[in-house]
């Protein structure tokens, strides 16, 4: 049976709905040429919800002639189809026949999430009705009888009707669509249970019966909608990662025409061979090579390098990097769709598609649990109808089975622990964005750290400042005060106060792409900048300092810069290693600073010069070797790796795309957030299994009693509520649990084999 979830039929924020199916010409225009005679078409399919949907869609599309590949991205509800050029396959028609509405995929910036709004309104209506009906039910349970009881039942019915009609429509529509196309999903038994409970309750009320079950049916609807809303919100977080990555690219660029005139054009019109002007402070729109000007380019967002990269005529630049100090004229070498930024977005989408279709423990249990429960209820009805010949009693007993086995306790087993874990993590300055990530975090055996901005603070500092003459450092700060360059800010942080011994420097100016220059009262020219500019008469090598201070072309001092490790980074790594986790660093920076940071924090493995694709390959290699890795990164270059990892984490200082791609975000400077989150995840996993064991034991005892007719629907509702309260109470232990040292608690769990057993579930 499919486990499709409803409620996203209106989630069309990533597509432009069309009144009719697009023509073959429109599909070709919206497709991307891959070369070798193949094209790729991206379709938005809002009705995708689960692994069964993915299997059905991919299987049907792959049967079409000339279709080479079909991949579904569950996070974005997007289908990518690769087909041979020539006759366009009937892609949309095929999906429509399966019961899935499909459109050409197109990003729509800033579109309101109408589906989430509908879900929130449905939760509000169901919650209001459930709360008030429960208050009336307490009076009935307390002994209200006769006309008073009937009045309370009718008021409950009046409250339940709009709630079940409005809020329950999300389930009814999904169930009807599935049945109409010859499929079934989890919403079919849910809809049947809601309808039967309400129908029998209405019959009991009309015939002055002693029991009605409006409270059970509306409360069940409320809990189901809460879970559905949280699931939808988590999926939106996953979608926003790629969307924000694409939004990082400028909307257009200033182009130099053949006659020398300048014109601002949309980025889609900037083709290879076009000359583009990029002013200081602007982000580079396309991949290209510099044909005029010199500047320094901040590549930290793309490559993770902590130091700006000098760029002059002949140097290549990449889309998404930031031009810092001077204007550049760039000759575009790739179209916007073929740029580094676009390729990074595609890498991330492929990583999302390739991530295992992970399901929560409760979802996996419910896939077996739901059909058994509803089969038991149906057989109970048939059995008592045959034995007693009383359809009313048979139906009442069957509904008691449905209610007492209602998966509220099972449904709360995971979410309540997640809520408490989220609170516990928040107290430690860690935000959890994806509920399933908590389960995945407890399974890891490897931690992969980015360097710049993750293992380090991301803020440059002056190396060996204590060995620099304070007077020369003060002189350098006089020039650095007039610049916003990262090197200048690092010098100002390290410089002492300027004293009377410092030379008076005037006429300070910035030479674009080179550094700062000023003239002293005696006519001497001071320069703070690139060695090749400040020392024009000297030969230069690869080991020269990043920045020099010179007087009349003669070197006075050299300065080198690097990141500082995060506070407690070494302690964090030691705690992770003590828990049996392997720790390594993957960085796009040069080998020397990577090695220095690895030695500082105690990481035993490190790799430098890693591009985004290299990081994804490394994580894929770990996965193929059976390892489950936590990726901790902060830059644009880390986004595909964050999406590809088993679970991911980013600091609050990360780029927007890094934060959105990560499952966890830690707000404080300390890297201790990583072992703290791991410890909480392991503890939460234990509580989840305790809750699931209790829910299973409860049903083992309760179901036979209900089937034998010893439980009325009222007692069933009470038992169901008590089981839910027990699960909640157990989850609350996470908020008050004594925090054991991670090396002890986790070590015991691993040595007992419990963790291995959980990983196989």
Residues catalogued as catalytic: 450
Contacts 24+ apart (CB under 8 A), 255-258: 256/329
Establish how many alpha carbons lie within 13 A of residue 143's alpha carbon, considering only the half-sphere containing its beta carbon.
Answer: 0
* Of 233, 303, 296, 337, residue with least CA distance to 655: 303
The Cα–Cα gap between 277 and 176 comes to: 57
Q: What is the DSSP letter of 173?
A: H
Distances (CA, A) of 683 to 95, 433, 489, 518, 710: 43, 18, 44, 61, 38
**In angstroms, how far apart are the furthest CA atoms of the chain?**
115
The DSSP secondary structure of 527-558, one letter per residue, reads: EEE-HHHHSTTS---TTS-SEEEEETTEEEEE
Distances (CA, A) of 117 to 11, 232, 240: 10, 11, 17
- 3-state per-residue secondary structure call for 6-37: CCCCCCCCCECCCCCCCCHHHHHHHCEEEECC
Sheet holding 295-298, edge to edge: 309-311, 295-298, 322-323
The DSSP secondary structure of 95-147, one letter per residue, reads: HHHTT---EEB---TT---HHHHHHHHHHHHHHHHHHHHHHHHHHHHTT--HH
Handedness of CA 196, 201, 202, 204 (dihedral sign): positive
476's tokens = 């350098």
Establish how many alpha carbons lie within 13 A of residue 664's alpha carbon, considering only the half-sphere containing its beta carbon.
Answer: 33
Q: What is the DSSP letter of 324?
A: -
Q: Is 499 left (phi over 0), alpha (psi -120 to 50) or beta?
A: beta
| Number of H-type helices and E-type strands within the chain | 26, 28
Cβ contact 39:28 at 8 Å: yes
Contacts of 651 (CB under 8 A, 6+ apart): 453, 454, 634, 665, 666
- Name the residue with tokens 């003459």: 469
Cβ contact 138:31 at 8 Å: no
The Cα–Cα gap between 502 and 521 comes to: 11
Measured between alpha carbons, how far apart are the two ends of the chain, in Å?
A: 20
The Cα–Cα gap between 262 and 252 comes to: 13
**Cα 266 → chain centroid:** 30
* Of 231, 236, 320, 229, residue with least CA distance to 282: 320
Query: Residue 515 class from Cβ within 10 Å (0-12 exposed, 13-18 middle, 19+ buried)?
Result: buried
The SS3 of residue 642 is helix
Cβ contact 511:325 at 8 Å: no
The Cα–Cα gap between 336 and 346 comes to: 13
The Cα–Cα gap between 759 and 682 comes to: 12
**C-alpha Rg value of the chain to the nearest Å:** 32
Give the bridge partners for 73, in sequence order. 78
Cβ contact 594:562 at 8 Å: no
Q: What is the DSSP letter of 304?
A: -
């Amino acid at each position: 049976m499919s486990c499709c979830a409803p409620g996203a039929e209106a989630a069309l924020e990533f597509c432009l709905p069309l009144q009719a199916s697009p023509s073959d010409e429109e599909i070709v225009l919206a497709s991307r040429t891959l070369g070798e005679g193949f094209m790729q078409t991206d379709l938005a399919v809002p009705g995708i919800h689960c692994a069964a949907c993915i299997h059905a869609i991919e299987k049907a599309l792959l049967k079409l002639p000339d279709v080479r590949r079909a991949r579904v991205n569950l996070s974005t509800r997007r289908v990518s189809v690769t087909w041979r050029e020539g006759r366009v396959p009937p892609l949309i028609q095929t999906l429509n026949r399966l019961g899935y509405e499909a459109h050409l995929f197109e990003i729509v910036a800033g579109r309101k999430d109408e589906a989430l709004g509908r879900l929130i309104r449905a939760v509000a209506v169901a919650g209001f009705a459930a709360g008030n009906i429960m208050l009336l039910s307490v009076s009935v349970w307390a002994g209200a009888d006769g006309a008073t009881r009937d009045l309370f039942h009718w008021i409950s019915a009046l409250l339940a009707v709009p709630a079940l009609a409005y809020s329950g429509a999300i389930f009814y529509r999904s169930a009807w669509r599935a049945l109409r196309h010859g499929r079934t999903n989890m919403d079919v038994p849910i809809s049947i249970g809601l309808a039967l409970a309400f129908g029998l309750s209405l019959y009991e009320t009309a015939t002055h019966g002693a029991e009605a079950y409006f409270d059970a049916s509306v409360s069940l609807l409320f809990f189901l909608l809460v879970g559905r809303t949280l699931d939808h919100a988590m999926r939106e977080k996953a979608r926003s990662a790629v969307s924000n990555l694409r939004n990082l690219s400028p909307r257009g660029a200033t182009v130099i025409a053949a006659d020398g005139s300048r014109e601002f054009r949309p980025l889609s019109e900037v083709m290879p061979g076009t000359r583009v002007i990029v002013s200081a402070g602007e982000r580079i729109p396309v991949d290209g090579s510099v044909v005029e000007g010199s500047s320094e380019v901040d590549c930290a967002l793309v490559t993770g390098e902590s130091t700006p990269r000098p760029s002059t005529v002949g140097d290549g630049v990449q889309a998404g990097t930031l031009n810092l100090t001077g204007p550049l004229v760039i000759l575009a070498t790739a179209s916007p769709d073929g740029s580094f930024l676009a390729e990074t977005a595609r890498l991330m989408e492929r990583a999302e598609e390739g991530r295992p279709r992970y399901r929560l423990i409760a979802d996996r249990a419910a896939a077996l649990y739901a059909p058994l429960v509803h089969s038991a209820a149906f057989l109970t009805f048939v059995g008592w109808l045959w034995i007693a010949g009383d359809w009313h009693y048979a139906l009442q007993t069957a509904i008691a089975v449905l209610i007492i086995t209602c998966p509220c306790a099972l449904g709360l087993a995971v979410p309540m622990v997640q809520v408490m874990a989220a609170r516990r993590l928040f107290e430690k300055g860690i935000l959890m964005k994806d509920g399933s990530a908590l389960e995945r975090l407890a399974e890891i055996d490897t931690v992969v750290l980015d360097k710049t901005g993750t293992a380090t603070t991301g803020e440059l500092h002056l190396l060996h400042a204590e060995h620099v003459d304070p007077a020369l450092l003060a002189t350098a700060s006089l020039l650095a005060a007039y610049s916003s360059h990262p090197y200048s800010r690092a010098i100002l942080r390290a410089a002492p106060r300027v004293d009377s011994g410092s030379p008076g420097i005037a006429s300070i100016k910035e030479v674009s792409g080179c550094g700062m220059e000023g003239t002293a009262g005696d006519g001497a020219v001071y320069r703070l900048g690139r060695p090749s500019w400040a020392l024009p008469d000297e030969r230069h090598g690869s080991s020269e300092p990043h920045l020099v201070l010179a007087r009349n072309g003669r070197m006075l001092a050299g300065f080198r810069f690097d990141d500082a490790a995060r506070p407690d980074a070494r302690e964090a790594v030691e705690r992770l290693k003590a828990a049996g986790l392997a720790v390594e660093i993957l960085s796009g920076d040069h080998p020397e600073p990577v090695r220095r940071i690895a030695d500082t924090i105690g990481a035993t493995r490190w790799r430098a010069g890693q591009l985004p694709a290299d990081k994804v390959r490394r994580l894929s290699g770990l996965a193929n070797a059976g390892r489950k890795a936590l990726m901790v990164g902060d830059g644009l270059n880390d986004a595909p790796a964050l999406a590809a990892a088993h679970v991911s984490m980013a600091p609050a200082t990360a780029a927007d795309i890094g934060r959105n791609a990560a499952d966890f975000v830690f707000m404080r400077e300390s890297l201790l957030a990583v072992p703290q989150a791991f410890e909480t995840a392991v503890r939460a996993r234990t509580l989840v299994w305790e809750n699931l064991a209790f829910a299973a034991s409860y049903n083992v005892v309760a179901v036979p009693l209900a089937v034998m007719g010893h439980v009325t629907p009222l007692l069933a509702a009470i038992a169901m509520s008590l089981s839910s309260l027990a699960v909640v109470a157990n989850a609350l232990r996470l908020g008050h649990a004594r925090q054991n040292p991670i090396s002890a608690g986790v070590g015991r769990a691993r040595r007992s084999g419990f963790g291995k057993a959980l990983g196989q579930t």
